[in-house]
Amino acid sequence: MAIDTKERKAPGVAPIQAKGTAPAFFSVYDIHAYYGESYIVQGVSFDIREGEILALLGRNGAGKTSTLRTLARLDNPELKHGEIWLDHQPLHDMQAHQAAKNGIGLVPEDRRIIPGLTVEENLILAQIEPPIGWSVERIYELFPRLGERRNQEGVTLSGGEQQMLAIGRALARDIKLLLLDEPYEGLAPVIVQEIEKTLENIKKLGITTIIVEQNAVAALHISDRAIIMDMGEVVFDGDAQEVLENEQLRHDYLAI
Ligand SMILES: Nc1ncnc2c1ncn2[C@@H]1O[C@H](COP(=O)(O)OP(=O)(O)OP(=O)(O)O)[C@@H](O)[C@H]1O
Ligand SMILES: [Mg+2]
């Protein structure tokens, strides 16, 4: 299991294509992030190729949400060192709204459905400014249930439907990288399977995804690769299948 990714690229320049490999589409290089004085993300590095699904795993408090927030360039935690490149764009120099314009789509754990608006209005509002992604009709093709409930208030949907709407809102923007924080949380297994199918369909369309999940086995089943975080650091970077097969690793870092 190779985890030393810190030497992969020189600081200050976009990642270079290594001989015989595809260039990294998304590259995170030695990022360090803080909530005030609290040092949380402690030198995380990893690469993703275009179209891959990466599972970002680890116990409670390992720093998964903080890492996603740093990648989306939210103010908290504050990125103090390191680089984040998406499709040759330096996200580390950007604020959240610029990172979003450059293709980062974060679906946070609380799903952020706007109260008082219908399903359709929630989707339309996501398209209020360019870059505009999928049409509302195309989102309904991916999630027929959202189409059936288009005139229903978004916050009255079931948990699974709200997750679909949250993903739909991300796709309504022209995204290059989808960041999902605990998309299966609180959902019945049959609904988890439905969302899994959708994520596989999204993958077929070439969208690159990072999925953070407590339900590690479910996340690993749809993922190509996995990284495991512990205490703000990456302790494993490899194939998703390898994590499923490595009992020791699962026991040490995932408690499954
Ligand atoms: N706003 C904040 N201010 C200060 N510390 C925070 C804040 N949010 C999270 N932390 C701390 O940062 C660490 C990592 O938290 P984070 O939420 O990133 O973990 P996580 O891996 O997503 O955990 P979980 O599986 O519980 O969602 C924890 O020690 C947490 O207490
Ligand atoms: Mg979290």
Q: Tell me the domains of the chain and their CATH numbers.
A: 23-103+219-256 (3.40.50.300)
User: What was the pLDDT predicted at 103?
Assistant: 95
Instruction: Convert the pLDDT of each residue in 142-157 to its tens digit.
Output: 999 999 999 999 999 9
Find all residues with CB under 8 Å of 109, minimum gap 6, and list them. 65, 181, 182, 185
Length of the chain: 256
Average pLDDT over residues 109-126: 95
Q: Which is it for strands 177-181 and 104-107: parallel, antiparallel or unpaired?
A: parallel
State the distance between the two ends of the chain, measured CA to CA, in whole angstroms: 19
Reading the block at residue 43, the tokens are 């030198």
> pLDDT per residue over 147-205, tens digit each?
999 999 999 999 999 999 999 999 999 999 999 999 999 999 999 999 999 999 999 98
What is the torsional sign of CA 156, 162, 168, 169? Answer: positive
Q: Which residue has the tokens 């992969």?
A: 8
Cα 213 to averaged position of ligand 2 atoms, centre (Å) = 8
Torsions phi, psi for 89 (to 5 deg): -100, 135
Q: What's the confidence (pLDDT) of residue 255?
A: 79
Within 6 A (CB) of ligand 1 lie 35, 38, 40, 58, 60-66, 76
pLDDT band at 2 (very low <50, low <70, confident <90, very high): very low
Which residue in 65, 66, 85, 68 sits closest to 77, CA to CA? 66
Pocket test for ligand 1, best of 66, 180, 211 (most atoms within 8 A of CB): 66
| 24-33 pLDDT, tens digit each | 899 999 999 9
